Amino acid sequence: MLDRTEAVREPEPGQNPPPELKRELVLSNVGVHFNGGPRPALDGTNLTLSARSTLALVGASGSGKSTLADLAGGLLSPDSGTIEVDGIPLSGGVQRAWRAKVAYVQQEPLLFHGSVRENLARANPSADEKRIRCALVDASAAFVDQLPQGIDTVIGDGGRRLSGGEQQRIALARTLLRDPSLLILDEATSALDSASEASIVEAIRALQGKLTILIIAHRGALVALADRVVELADGRIVSETAIK
Ligand SMILES: Nc1ncnc2c1ncn2[C@@H]1O[C@H](COP(=O)(O)OP(=O)(O)OP(=O)(O)O)[C@@H](O)[C@H]1O
Ligand SMILES: [Mg+2]
């Protein structure tokens, strides 16, 4: 088992500075076939994400949306094809370095027992008060000031003393403290009521144009923010619609 895990050890980021995503992220002919899967999760997919644009990925359950997001975020390597950020192939140490520039907000954010401040500090221990305040405002999470001890309020195991929408916004603030180039939201609002969804949508709208955003959602207000909507079916892109 040790040999097997050693064999798949990721190279260190080394001296590679992470790519910044100043121009575009390009997935060329990428294929992913998970072990035991009856068919490829992604099958020769081509997609270009322009820097500072907002792209929405839609499609039925199992169509490959999260797989594509994992590739773009450097969490997964394709079995075939290439991924490049500003012309730099995402492989080896670069892939690992790139991950530090990616903010990934998933359906169930992982918060820790501790205060809001402690949760935020995990992303960037050196962030000063001003930086933290900016991240909270950018994430529409200024509600923190109304908690009993403000930013020092303990939020319970997994943040359970907060609503789902509040947890999402703390998770978003935390991720913004890492100064990401790419923000990925995977079904980030699917479990939220419409008021909580609206506050996330407002936060994302304010971030548009400042960084590159990849939204995965089945429908709704988040998809409506996108410049371009790409639909996947059975691991292939079946339609692309430019909105703006
Ligand atoms: N780790 C894995 N191991 C094996 N198969 C996987 C794995 N992850 C995804 N798959 C398979 O790959 C295909 C695409 O999955 P993916 O998670 O990308 O779909 P999705 O479009 O995000 O769906 P959903 O809307 O339900 O989140 C599915 O058939 C899924 O079962
Ligand atoms: Mg998914």
Residue closest by Cα to atom 18 of ligand 1: 64
* Atom of ligand 1 minimally distant from the CA of 218: 25
Q: What is the pLDDT of residue 151?
A: 95
* Atom of ligand 1 minimally distant from the CA of 32: 12
**CA triple 60-65-69, angle to 5 deg:** 165
* Atom of ligand 1 minimally distant from the CA of 187: 27
Ligand nearest to the CA of 70: 1
Instruction: For residue 199, give the nearest of 217, 172, 180 by alpha carbon.
Output: 172
Ligand nearest to the CA of 67: 1
Residue type, 6: E
Residue closest by Cα to atom 3 of ligand 1: 34
Residues 6+ apart with CB under 8 A from 29: 44, 45, 46, 80, 81, 82
Is the full-model pTM beyond 0.95?
no
Half-sphere exposure of 16 (CA within 13 A, CB side): 21
pLDDT under 70: residue ranges of the chain: 189, 191, 244
**Assigned token pair, 63:** 């169509």
Q: Which residues line ligand 1 (CB under 6 A)?
A: 34, 37, 41, 59, 61-67
CA of 129 to the centre of ligand 2 (A): 35
Q: What is the pLDDT of residue 140?
A: 87
